[in-house]
């Protein structure tokens, strides 16, 4: 067994990269469990000293004054409201987290990067293929103004995996319902994105009822929709997304250029499988997959 002197041990410790430190301002939209979990994941990776501010009830000017006063090395924005209220700040690096379709807000902001509230399309498609290995035609509805950037990545990922992605643009909830009826018999499954034009409280029950009646298995993004009738959901793991954002923050605090750190989709997901729907559709789910999934029976 090799033994090191205290001096050598100290030198080795100093040479090993550690999580970056610095003064950080966390702007959190609301104090709710998913956001708290995301912040916990962030803190597990990034050791910066954090001061947390809840943005609800504050204006952009309120937060800008706070930034001017504290002069943080980095701002972490958790949730859409937080990002909306900090995106005008140009002289401090900003990392966002738990934000749905952020590209329309920050596409031209050179000091902003982060992790969206969508899981990498490659991971979603790989999960779908494990459950439905023979699915070759996949339907997808989207509003280009909200999900266009994600769908472009999804089309490339599907093509690489030999999946035909039948992506249909819709611009209203009424168009979404009609588009699903038009896909009946033409697709092996339907992929629902967190696109509020397609999926909202006024449409989701009718959409899922239509897919069940037409025997179309559905991959969605929230376990509450799996409970309502989707075959499976792959939901963002908030803690893992926080770790991913923490790694970005570490790179920035270590001197990295924000522009060189690509905006990303979340890499971690929590799988839920509705076994009641699987039985109705005559689909057998691999037991090995179920060991790592939440199930609805």
Q: Is the pLDDT of residue 169 over 50?
A: yes
Of residues 254 and 6, more confidently modeled? 254
| Phi then psi dihedrals of residue 243, to 5 deg | -65, -40
Stated pTM of the model:
0.87
Model pLDDT for residues 279-288, shown as the tens digit of each residue: 999 999 999 9
Residue 50's SS3 state is strand
d(CA 112, CA 143): 24
Q: Is the dihedral of CA 156, 158, 161, 162 positive or negative?
A: negative
What pLDDT does residue 72 have?
A: 97
Model pLDDT for residues 12-21, shown as the tens digit of each residue: 333 434 444 5
What is the chain's mean pLDDT, rounded? Answer: 90
Q: Is the pLDDT of residue 54 over 70?
A: yes
Q: Is the dihedral of CA 154, 160, 165, 169 positive or negative?
A: positive
Q: Is the pLDDT of residue 274 over 50?
A: yes
* Residue ranges of domains in the chain, CATH in brackets: 6-117+238-265 (3.40.50.2300), 121-235+270-296 (3.40.50.2300)
| Phi then psi dihedrals of residue 112, to 5 deg | -125, 135
Q: Provide, rounded to the nearest whole percent, the portion of the chain with pLDDT above 70.
A: 93
Provide mean pLDDT across the span 167-187: 89
Q: Is the dihedral of CA 100, 21, 262, 138 positive or negative?
A: negative
**Confidence at 228, pLDDT banded by 50, 70, 90:** very high
**Confidence at 22, pLDDT banded by 50, 70, 90:** low
d(CA 283, CA 217): 9
Provide mean pLDDT across the span 29-33: 96
What pLDDT does residue 188 have?
A: 95
Q: Provide, rounded to the nearest whole percent, the portion of the chain with pLDDT above 90.
A: 78
Of residues 48 and 112, more confidently modeled? 112
What pLDDT does residue 165 have?
A: 97
What pLDDT does residue 103 have?
A: 85
Length of the chain in terms of residues written = 297
Provide mean pLDDT across the span 247-268: 95
What pLDDT does residue 15 have?
A: 40
Q: Is the pLDDT of residue 4 over 60?
A: no
Provide mean pLDDT across the span 151-171: 96
Q: Is the pLDDT of residue 175 over 80?
A: yes
């Amino acid at each position: 067994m090799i033994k090191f002197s205290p001096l050598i041990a100290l030198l080795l410790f100093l040479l090993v990269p550690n999580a970056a430190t610095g003064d950080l301002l966390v702007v959190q939209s609301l104090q709710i469990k998913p956001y708290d979990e995301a912040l916990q994941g962030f803190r597990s990776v990034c050791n910066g000293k954090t001061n947390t501010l809840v943005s609800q009830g504050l204006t952009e000017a309120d937060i800008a004054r706070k930034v001017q006063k504290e002069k943080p090395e980095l701002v972490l924005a958790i949730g859409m409201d937080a990002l909306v209220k900090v995106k005008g700040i140009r002289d401090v690096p900003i990392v966002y987290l738990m934000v749905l379709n952020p590209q329309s807000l920050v596409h031209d902001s050179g000091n902003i990067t982060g992790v969206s509230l969508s899981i990498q399309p490659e991971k979603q498609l790989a999960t779908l293929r494990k459950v439905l290995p023979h699915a070759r035609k996949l339907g997808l509805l989207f509003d280009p103004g909200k999900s266009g950037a994600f769908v472009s990545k999804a089309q490339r990922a599907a093509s690489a995996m030999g999946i035909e992605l039948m992506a249909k643009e819709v611009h209203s909830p009424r168009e979404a319902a009609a588009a699903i009826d038009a896909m009946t018999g033409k697709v092996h499954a339907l992929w629902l994105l967190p696109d509020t034009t397609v999926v909202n409280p006024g449409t989701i029950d009718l959409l899922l009822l239509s897919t069940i009646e037409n025997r179309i298995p559905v991959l969605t993004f929230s376990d509450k929709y799996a409970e309502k009738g989707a075959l499976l959901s792959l939901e963002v793991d908030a803690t893992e997304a926080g770790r991913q954002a923490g790694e970005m923050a570490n790179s920035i605090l270590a001197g990295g250029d924000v522009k060189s750190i690509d905006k990303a989709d979340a890499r971690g997901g929590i799988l839920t499988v509705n076994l009641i729907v699987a039985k109705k559709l005559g689909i057998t789910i691999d037991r090995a997959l179920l060991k790592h999934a939440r199930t609805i029976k």
